[in-house]
Structure 1
Amino acid sequence: MQRRDVLKQLSALAALGSLGVPAMAQGSGFETLPQPLPTDAKGKVEVLEFFHYGCPHCKAFDPLLEIWIKKLPADVAFQRVPVTWGNPQLTGFAKLHLTLAATGDLGRLHGQVFEAVQGDHLPLHTEAGAQEWAVKKGVDAKKFADAYKSFGVQVALQRVQKIERDYKIQGVPTLAVDGKYITSGSIAGTHENALKVADQLIAKSRK
C-alpha cells in the first residue's frame, strides 16, 4: 500500500519533501539507499519490516513473513517498524503495537490485530478501543494501561517514527536489509519474490 493511498492530503508535501533527495540505485528486485543508515544489530544483519495494521497488503504478507522469520539464522536480527506518516490513526496503531511489545503480548496477538482492524473494523487506533480489545484477548487491563501511557512506549514511538523518516518509506510492506537495501512486493514483483530477494541481500551483507 502506497503512502498516497493512505494520506492523499499529504501528497503535495511528500512531493516537496522528495526534491533534492538522491535517487536510489536499482538492483534486481531491490533498491540501494543513497547513503547507508546505522543499524542497532551489532554484529548481525538487521532486517526491518515497515508496515501498518490498516494495510491489506501487509495483512496478506504477514503469514508469509512469519514463516520466513522462523527460518532466519542466528546472525540476522528482525524487527517490525509500524509506520505513522504523521497520521493520527496510524500513530494509534503503532502505539498499540509498541504497547503489546511492552506487555509481552505482541507475539501472540500481532496477527490478530490485522483481523480486528480490517475484518472487524474495530477502533484499535484509540486508547479505549485498543484496551477493550486487548483485555478481551487476555492482556491484563492495568498492565496495558500503564504501558500505553508509559515513557518507554512514547520513546519507542518516537524511535520508529525517526526510522521511518530516515528510510523515507513511501509504501508498505517494505523490507530494509542492513541499512543499505530495500525490497518489497512492488519492487520484486510479488511478496514471495521480496522474501527471496531479502535472503540474497542478507547473504550479500555478510560479505
Structure 2
Amino acid sequence: MRLTRIAFLIVVVASAWSGLQPAYAQDIAIPDGVVAKEIDPPVPSAIPGSHDKRVLVMEIFDYACSHCRAFQPMFDKWAMQQADDVDILQLPYLLGSSLDSNLQLLSGRAYIALMIMGRNGYPTQSLLAHRQFFDEILPFYQHMTKSDPPGTYKDMVEFMAAQVAREGMGKDEFKKIFFSHEVDEAVKSIQQAEKSFDVPGIPAIVVNGKYYVAPDPWDTKTPTDEVYNGMLKLTGQLAAREP
C-alpha cells in the first residue's frame, strides 16, 4: 500500500446509483449499519502516480466532521495494512455542509496545500499537521464565531498557517500555496469528482470509482465502531475483487 496524498483528481463522467450487482452480492454481505452502492457507470479517474496500481481506495472526509475524526485513526490503520498494489487517496469533502460551507472550503484548501507541501519535501510534517487539523479546526472556528467582534476567515487562514508552522513548515509558504492556482484547480477537480460519486454523507469510501461505502444514516442501533469496522471490511472485500 502507498498513501498517494496528491491533490489532483480528474473526473469527467457523471454517475448514477444502482444496488450492488448480483455477481458481487452473492458472497459479499453488507454489514449492519453500512450502505454500499455501485457507481453505474464507473467513474474513470487519473491520479498522478497511481497508474501502476491494481485498485484505488479514496476516503472522503471533512475536518469539521466529528464522525470523520472518529473514523480517521481506524482508516489510517487499515490503510497501512493493505498490499502494495492498493493506492490510498484522501479527499476533502467540498460540496457544502450544514455547518458552514465556507469553513469546509477553507479547511479543504488547507488539506490540499498540506499535501502539496508534503510532496515538496515535508511528507512527515504535512501528515502530522493533517492529523492535528482534525482536533484544532472546529474548536477554533467555534471560538472565532463567539468572539466579540467575531473573527473572519482571514483569521482562520492565519490560524491554520500557524499550526503548519508549529510542525516545522513555512507559514508564508503555506499561505502562498493555499491561495495558489494549483489549489484552485485541485478544488474544482475534487468537487467534480464528488458530484460524480453522488456522495450523500461522510465519512465515505470509493473503491476504484466503482463502489461507494458509507455509514447507513438510518441505522441508529449498530455501535459506531462496528459500523466503521464493517465499512473497512467491505472495502477490503470489494478491493480484492478488482482485477
TM-score category of the 2 structures, normalised to the smaller one: 0.7 to 0.9
Cα distance between partner residues in 1 of 2:157 and 2:105: 11
Cα distance between partner residues in 2 of 1:43 and 1:37: 18
1:93 aligns with 2:107: yes
TM (norm. structure 1) is 0.81
CA contact (8 A) 1:49 1:81 kept: yes
Cα distance between partner residues in 1 of 2:129 and 2:163: 11
**Matched positions, count:** 186
Instruction: Give the counterpart of 1:63 among 73, 84, 87.
Output: 73
Match of 1:33 in 2: 39
Note the C-alpha offset of 1:178: 0.9
Instruction: Give the counterpart of 2:18 among 17, 21, 24.
Output: 24
Match of 1:110 in 2: 130
Bigger CA radius of gyration: 2
Note the C-alpha offset of 1:54: 0.6
Cα distance between partner residues in 2 of 1:136 and 1:106: 11
Match of 1:167 in 2: 197
**Shift in alpha-carbon separation, 1:177–1:23, aligned structure 2, 3 A:** closer
Note the C-alpha offset of 1:119: 4.8
Match of 1:204 in 2: 241
CA contact (8 A) 1:25 1:34 kept: no
Note the C-alpha offset of 1:115: 0.5
SS at match of 2:43: coil
Match of 1:5 in 2: none
Q: Root-mean-square deviation (CA), in Å?
A: 2.3
Instruction: Give the counterpart of 1:193 among 230, 235, 239.
Output: 230
Match of 1:10 in 2: none
Cα distance between partner residues in 1 of 2:139 and 2:175: 25
Note the C-alpha offset of 1:110: 1.5
The amino acid that maps onto 1:172 is I
Gaps of 5+ in 2: 1-14, 31-35, 119-124, 145-151
Note the C-alpha offset of 1:163: 1.0
Note the C-alpha offset of 1:79: 0.5
Note the C-alpha offset of 1:22: 4.5
**Shift in alpha-carbon separation, 1:43–1:135, aligned structure 2, 3 A:** closer
1:157 aligns with 2:187: yes
Note the C-alpha offset of 1:138: 2.4
Note the C-alpha offset of 1:149: 1.8
Note the C-alpha offset of 1:35: 1.2
Note the C-alpha offset of 1:103: 1.2
Note the C-alpha offset of 1:92: 0.6
The amino acid that maps onto 1:36 is P
Match of 1:145 in 2: 175
CA contact (8 A) 2:63 2:107 kept: yes
Higher helix proportion, which one? 1
SS at match of 1:48: strand
Cα distance between partner residues in 1 of 2:66 and 2:59: 15
The amino acid that maps onto 1:102 is I
Cα distance between partner residues in 1 of 2:215 and 2:75: 12
TM (norm. structure 2) is 0.70
